[in-house]
Chain A
């Protein structure tokens, strides 16, 4: 199956700092999504981004499908950004529906 690797595994920031999270994947994809799992365990959709660049407030994401990676940028981080960030991909071709998740990046933002 498709492999998804996220880096770094852990990240500790002071409030106000910027960060970049990376997701590498081993095959072509139909879909790619970024999620934030908050401390209460809920999975929040951040971006649906199989290719290109999107921005939403302090967050933005870029996927370069031909080079098989995606980046999530967090600017001016806040304590509420703490949690686990997951990248998930749906393999290209006929593997419809099945999202394969990376192991996540654990982000801790200190005040």
Chain B
């Protein structure tokens, strides 16, 4: 049973370009979460999605960032017009359900470097 898959593992972008990060949840999981780990900082929640729905985006920056989890295909975290401060490790997690009893499993992360 494959774990959470993320790609690419490493992504280099120049300032002003777009970054697209992909996440495929574990088989049987329909809940997806994105977290960001900035250098020298801890992991911070960004957004929680179910198929075709954003449940909680309280951790998403107000501009340039968006996320989706379509009916078919992986979840996408999109960063438009990247800046150097967006350089970080972006982790995706998935769970079978929500609330008590639902453990989150993490992917290997995408390390974004903005030149």
Contacts and interface: CB of A to CB of B under 8 A. Distances in A.
Interface string A34-78: 010000011101001010000000000000000000000000000
Interface in B38-82: 42-45, 48, 55-56, 58-59
B42 A104 contact: yes
Contacts of B56: 96-98
Q: Is the interface of A mostly helix, strand, loop or mixed?
A: strand
A50 B100 contact: yes
A32 B55 CA distance: 20
A97 B98 contact: yes
Interface residues of A, number: 22
A61 B102 CA distance: 18
Contacts of A90: 99
A102 B42 contact: yes
A64 to B, nearest CB: 17
Given A30-B99, A98-B56, A102-B42, 17 more contacts: A30-B100, A31-B99, A31-B101, A33-B103, A33-B104, A41-B108, A45-B103, A50-B100, A96-B98, A97-B31, A97-B95, A99-B33, A99-B93, A99-B104, A101-B35, A103-B42, A104-B42
